[in-house]
């Protein structure tokens, strides 16, 4: 079974229908995250994990934060409370126009990309910075776009901005690079 020894997350559409599953390995293993096979019903580029739970908060705060993983959504909610939760997960390390459209339909005027830290060498870090900036540049005509970039080395490689507690998360979010 490909989901053996993984924490399972049901992925739902905005109407609360289960359309797929994401699984995170427990301990060491590869791949770290594994999703259901893509189908006409489950297309990662057309869904955001957790949007069904936070869309009213996104409307209220006019802001959404896009993380890579389901775990990051749960961490944010645990740290700051579900009533302030505005985090969704792209279920991968990229972000698509259709996902942005979903957030805009929910009332997001600002979208902050908060992906896991990448890059060991200076060149890899520059490539990661360019990737995040490129995502934001691509969509900045639709709403205000920004991204979290840890230039203070608060995170270790592959850590989410939400892995080190509320103080680090708040610092990284407040220092987001907005375009």
Query: Average pLDDT for residues 99-103, to the nearest whole number?
Result: 96
- Pick 122 or 54 by higher pLDDT: 54
pLDDT for residue 48: 96
pLDDT category of residue 112 using cuts at 50, 70 and 90:
very high
Phi and psi at residue 68, in whole multiples of 5°? -80, -40
Beta strands, E only, 96-151: 110-114, 144-147
Count of C-beta atoms within a 10 Å radius of residue 178: 11
Query: Looking at per-residue confidence, does 5 or 111 come out higher?
Result: 111
Residue 1 has pLDDT above 80, yes or no: no
Residue 77 in contact with residue 164, Cβ under 8 Å? Answer: no
Asked if residue 171 has a cis previous peptide bond (ω within 30° of 0), the answer is no
> Which residue has tokens 């934001």?
136
Q: Encoding tokens for residue 51?
A: 């949007």
pLDDT band, very low/low/confident/very high, at 167 (cuts 50, 70, 90): very high
DSSP assigned state of 3: T
Query: Quick one: tokens of 8?
Result: 């399972």
DSSP β-bridge partners for residue 175: none
Is it the case that residue 2 has pLDDT exceeding 90? no
Distance between CA atoms of residues 120 and 115, nearest Å: 15
- Residue 92 binned pLDDT confidence (cut-offs 50, 70, 90): confident
């Amino acid at each position: 079974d490909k989901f053996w020894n993984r924490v399972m997350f049901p992925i739902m559409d905005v109407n609360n229908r289960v359309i797929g599953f994401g699984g995170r390995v427990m301990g060491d293993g590869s791949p770290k995250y594994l999703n259901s096979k893509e189908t006409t019903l489950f297309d990662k580029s057309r869904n955001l994990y957790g949007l069904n739970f936070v869309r009213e908060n996104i409307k209220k705060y006019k802001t959404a934060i896009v993380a890579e993983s389901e775990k990051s959504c749960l961490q944010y909610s645990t740290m700051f409370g579900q009533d302030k939760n505005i985090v969704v997960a792209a279920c991968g390390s990229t972000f698509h126009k259709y996902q942005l459209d979903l957030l805009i339909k929910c009332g997001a005027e600002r979208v902050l990309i908060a992906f896991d830290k990448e890059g060991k060498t200076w060149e890899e870090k520059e490539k990661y910075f360019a990737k995040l900036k490129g995502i934001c540049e691509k969509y900045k005509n639709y709403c205000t776009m920004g991204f979290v970039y840890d230039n203070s080395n608060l995170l270790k490689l592959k850590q989410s901005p939400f892995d080190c507690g509320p103080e680090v998360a708040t610092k990284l979010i407040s220092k987001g690079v907005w375009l």
